[in-house]
Amino acid sequence: MVHGTGPWHVCFAGLFSILLLHNVRYSFAQDELHINDYNDNECGERMVKRKGLVKGGYSTQPGDWPWHVALYHRGINSAGFEYACGGSIVHRYMVVTAAHCVTLATSHNTIGTTLNEARMPVVDSWTCLASDRAFFGKFIQSKAFCAGYKNGTGVCNGDSGGGMFFHFQNRWYLKGVVSFSNTNDYSGVCNLKQYIGFTDASQYIDWVYNNTPISGIDDPILRHPNIRLINQGSCGRNEHMEELDENRKPILNQYPWMAILANPTTTEYVPCNGVLLNRNYVLAGNCWQITAGEEVIVTLGDYDTSRTKDCIDEDRSCVPAVQTVYVSQIIRKDDLALVRLAVPADIGGRENIEAICLPVTPEQRDRLYNRYIMTGWKESGTDSTFLQRALLDVVHTKQCWAEYQESYHEFRGSDQMDSRIICARNLNNRSRSPQCNDYQPGSAIQAIDQKSDRYLLYGLQVGIGYCEVPEQYKAISKYLLWILDNIRR
């Protein structure tokens, strides 16, 4: 066990192996929106207080390093298990260790029975190579580093796979995994007069994410490796009391996930709506601006497109400026477009930019609402520069299909008007939105999840009904696998 000095803010290791813990019991809350497997607020914190700092090699106390594990191999000449290596818990179902700890037989030198720790500095690559170029020249590269004093204090046989940890902002982070060291002649015993080689954990974060299971969960959505890329942080936040009527809430800054998609030359109106899913992705309707093959920009955090800054006139309370981002990739399916931003959205940096939550649990996906909250910008009109809101009542699919057939005699959409479509209109005032105000494609329908008190996205508008028929919305719950399969870090 070693720990270093310096503000290293990293979490995982590299030239190492992943161990999956399949027998851990875990009851997953079906209404849980956040997968907290990698939550900085829950990891790297000691559960006991230290009595002092270490300066050399010291025995530890129970609870000092609660993420450190011991790995055992089944003995060749005995029926029991023998200690082999160390490792670090980085996930409720996963431990990382050095690769040779699980692929090669380890030496059985005399090993202490108590976990020890030592403080040692990281040294630069040139210094490490100069100390023993013949040995370290085979291992030192961009994904490895050296540390140590060369004074007899350090890690040795049996310490392979253990972690080097750095303290930063009251939490401990895994920076390195003990991976290689020179030996004394042919004895196989480590040479503590030389530096120790570590795999750099920060170089393998993506690899760890891609190989992390969500064990014990059979649901294809919840166990998807990309599930932790959505529903992060304060997604879908509702800052008002649950019982407050939606129409009494302000629209400004209430739906900070709404996005505008347009060509750089478009200035007079909002051509396409979308919603922010996370820092890197917006989900939008498959508007012609997207399909035309022209350059597309996304505006986040807007309310009134005619103003450079949105303010509440009464007290001149203003929200931060909008963020305008170019698009780097567009992935299409049916009438939806998954849009990757060229620059990450400033979530957490501006109060008017936040992601919406998606209905990921079976309960949320299967829940049927009679009414949804619609938000979006309209195609035209004196108020088309303002983000609008309306409460929409659901129209049964059969009735919706019948209305389309009556209005469009050659309508042949029966094969598409199934569970992937939600039809809705404002029945309380048929002259109001969206039926006669022509909201643009990508306008969102959402509902507040009572258990989490967060907004969940349930549909995006496709096409425009032009006052004759209910609006159609693609049911997002039917496209979750497509979204998860295509998003990346």
If one compares 242 and 72, the residue with the highest pLDDT of the two is 72
Burial of 168 (C-beta count, 10 Å sphere; 0-12/13-18/19+): middle
pLDDT of residue 5: 37
DSSP assignment, residue 477?
G
DSSP assignment, residue 356?
P
Domains identified in the chain and CATH numbers: 11-211 (2.40.10.10), 227-486 (2.40.10.10)
Q: How confident is the model at residue 182 (pLDDT cuts 50, 70, 90)?
A: confident
Alpha-carbon span 80 to 72, nearest angstrom: 10
User: Which of 19-23, 104-108, 180-184, 310-314 is predicted with the least confidence, judged by mean pLDDT?
Assistant: 19-23
pLDDT of residue 77: 62
Q: How confident is the model at residue 168 (pLDDT cuts 50, 70, 90)?
A: confident
Q: What is the mean pLDDT of the chain?
A: 80
Q: How confident is the model at residue 49 (pLDDT cuts 50, 70, 90)?
A: low
If one compares 256 and 149, the residue with the highest pLDDT of the two is 256
Alpha-carbon span 69 to 18, nearest angstrom: 13
**Phi-psi domain of 96 (left: phi exceeds 0; alpha: psi -120 through 50; beta: other):** beta
Task: For residues 233-245, give the mean pLDDT.
Answer: 86
Alpha-carbon span 295 to 324, nearest angstrom: 13
Task: Reply yes or no on whether the pLDDT at 483 is more than 90.
Answer: yes
pLDDT of residue 111: 65
What is the SS3 assignment for 414?
coil
pLDDT of residue 3: 57
Task: Reply yes or no on whether the pLDDT at 153 is more than 90.
Answer: no
Tokens 């023993």 -> residue:
132
Which pLDDT tens digit goes with each residue over 310-354?
Answer: 887 666 778 899 999 999 999 999 989 999 999 999 999 999 999
Task: For residues 450-454, give the mean pLDDT.
Answer: 91
Alpha-carbon span 388 to 246, nearest angstrom: 12
User: For the chain, what percentages of helix, strand and coil (3-state, to nearest 5) are there?
Assistant: 15, 30, 55
Strand duo 2-3 + 116-119: pairing? parallel
Which pLDDT tens digit goes with each residue over 362-380?
Answer: 999 999 899 999 999 887 7
pLDDT of residue 25: 31
Task: Reply yes or no on whether the pLDDT at 186 is more than 90.
Answer: no
Strand duo 2-3 + 163-168: pairing? parallel
Which pLDDT tens digit goes with each residue over 388-418?
Answer: 998 999 999 888 888 888 877 656 555 557 8
Task: Reply yes or no on whether the pLDDT at 293 is more than 70.
Answer: no
Task: For residues 65-80, give the mean pLDDT.
Answer: 79
pTM across the whole model: 0.65
